[in-house]
Amino acid sequence: MSEPRQVVVIGAGVAGLTSALTVLTNSSEPVNVTVLEAESTVGGRIRTTQFAGLSIDEGPDAFLARVPWATQLAAELGLGASMTSPTDAHASIWHNGMHNIPGDLMLGVPAKVRAFATSGLISPLGKLRAAIEPLLPATTDTDSIGEYVRSRFGNQIHERLVDPLIGSIYATDSDHFSMAAVPQVAALTASRSMLFAAGRARAAATKSPAGPIFSTPTRGLGALIELLTQRVTALGGRIVTGESVSTIEKVNTGYTIITSRGQHFADAIVVASPAKPSSHFIRPLDSRAADLLGQWSHASVVLITMAIPAAQWPARLKGSGYLVPKPDQRWVSAASFGSNKWAHWRPDDGSMILRVSLGRDGLEVLHFDNDKLINLALADMKLHLGVDMTPSEIRVSRWAESFPQYRPNHFARLAELEHSLGTAAPGIVFAGASYRGIGIPACVQQARSAGEATLAHLAALHS
Ligand SMILES: Cc1cc2nc3c(=O)[nH]c(=O)nc-3n(C[C@H](O)[C@H](O)[C@H](O)COP(=O)(O)OP(=O)(O)OC[C@H]3O[C@@H](n4cnc5c(N)ncnc54)[C@H](O)[C@@H]3O)c2cc1C
């Protein structure tokens, strides 16, 4: 009998763990799977810890449920019955005061004239500029969201609607972000008028019965990681924490992986770590691929969770939170009124759980110490909400280089990278936020494909 094949997965975020699960579940032959994780814990950007007596996420708090991958994974892991969705509280945009986010938008792109015609967010001149969008000639030759939307609707629609909505999801400055990386918006560029395309897309979305937009386990997204870890281990996978990959060398048809603790042999590798660290260990295999990976930029953010005593929270603030457009930002880019957004985030004493985001691509905040960050957040919120708040509990989560920035033409660079590495080092595949989509569902989808590609490579080694 032949020895089991060896698969090594680098990184134990949701992409790495799901890749391991896919290989272990779908392999028709014995296979050893080892997941190597540099940090002392698994989960990567997904982390749920206790705060104000509740399980509150420090990073992502939900995933998009209108695409199947994460929802299916949660169901496969047995989380179906304990999933929940946000309340129907609405978010606002702060621009010299709070404004409701208009209906009739597709990720900030107007789907009807009334989306901006009746909003106090846009000036009369800005409304006139936006209204001529259907009359303009087609916009071509740009993959920059900012450049495209500004050319269609003018600066105000971009800066006060589209950029806040997209920027808050990707911690980005959407003037420098790839349109193709946001498929819902990219789909609106197929016809000449973005307004009409958004109108048609919204009408189609309203017609088809759709469940909730977002979903999450009531125990927090950490539950997804916990169950993934258990499942991978139960299937015989080995998850090693505190072991960082530093170099990969090719040996015959396989690879030697040198780590901070020793070395491993692999017939196939899934790289589920972010682009920057990956560029270092890929270099001995392919310097062009390493150079490309090294060019990826990543934005850092800080997420401050606060419990505000019930007596301090104004009853008028019933929404789910607000976004701050880039030209209006000092440090805070968004604040989520967590206890309004999530029914399971309501402490017994009636406190409000807030999650306040500071920083994005082009707005550095990590150099501040925690006290300074907390003061900046409270000062910004005083400006935005008109209230002085003294939190009864505070937690600062620093997310260094946590949001990959897909610059315009990202996917062309990725194709070049994969082509180059595919020739130099067959059997090495990428999965995760740095590559084909940033949100949790996209990471799961990539992990499924990476797992399948790994099995196909192992099968080809036999022939
Ligand atoms: C604050 C915040 C809020 C977010 N909110 C949402 C949200 O609401 N919804 C949503 O869908 N997405 C959200 N995201 C995005 C989403 O969480 C991430 O894109 C996703 O979790 C990334 O998963 P991943 O497995 O690709 O990478 P990661 O989670 O980054 O995991 C990669 C792992 O690789 C490890 N690693 C790195 N180098 C090495 C090495 N040399 N050797 C071994 N291991 C290594 C790292 O330590 C890490 O654990 C958010 C992200 C952040 C930071």
Question: Which residue among 273, 320, 428 is best mutated to probe the pocket of ligand 1, counting the most ligand atoms within 8 A of its Cβ?
Answer: 273
pLDDT digits (tens, 9 = 90+) for 37-50: 999 999 999 999 99
Kindly report, residue by residue over 101-139, the tens digit of the pLDDT: 998 999 999 999 999 999 999 999 999 999 999 999 999
Measure the CA–CA gap between 373 and 170, rounded to whole angstroms.
21
Question: Using one digit for the tens of pLDDT, what is the confidence trace for 378-423?
Answer: 999 999 999 999 999 999 999 999 999 999 999 999 999 999 998 8
- Run of H or E residues at 226: helix 222-234
> Percent of the chain scored above 70 by pLDDT?
99
Q: What is the crossing angle of helices 145-153 and 194-207, to 10°? A: 100
* Mean predicted lDDT score pLDDT of the chain: 96
Residue nearest to atom 26 of ligand 1 (CA): 432
Of 458, 442, 454, 462, residue with least CA distance to 14: 442
**What is the secondary structure of 44-60 as a DSSP string?**
TT--EEEETTEEEESS-
Per-residue pLDDT band for 223 (boundaries 50, 70, 90) equals: very high
Beta-carbon contacts of 369 under 8 Å, excluding residues fewer than 6 positions away, are none
Sketch out the chain's domains with CATH numbers: 5-46+218-285+425-462 (3.50.50.60), 48-63+84-88+300-405 (3.90.660.20), 100-207 (1.10.3110.10)
Choose which residue among 440, 444, 446, 448 to substitute to test ligand 1 binding: the one with the highest number of ligand atoms within 8 A of its C-beta.
440
* pLDDT of the residue at 263: 97
Beta pairing, strands 254-259 & 263-266: antiparallel
What pLDDT, on the 0 to 100 scale, is given for residue 209? 60
pLDDT single digits (tens) 152-193: 999 999 999 999 999 999 999 999 999 999 999 999 999 999
Alpha carbon of 196 to ligand 1 centroid (Å):
36
Q: What are phi and psi of 140, to 5 degrees?
A: -135, 175
pLDDT 10s digits, 196-216: 999 999 888 877 766 788 999
Q: Residue 5: which of 232, 267, 269 has the closest Cα? A: 267
User: Can you give the pLDDT at residue 151?
Assistant: 97
Output the pTM of the full model.
Answer: 0.96
pLDDT confidence of residue 205 = 81
- Both tokens of 148, joined, read 């495209």
* Distance separating alpha carbons of residues 77 and 235, to the nearest angstrom: 13
Q: In what order do the strands lie in the sheet with 31-37?
A: 238-241, 31-37, 5-10, 268-271, 428-430
Specify the length of the chain in residues: 463
Ligand 1 contacts (CB < 6 A) are 10-16, 36-39, 44-46, 59-63, 244-245, 272-274, 277, 281, 301, 303, 399, 402, 432-433, 438-440, 443
Residue 58: pLDDT above 70? yes
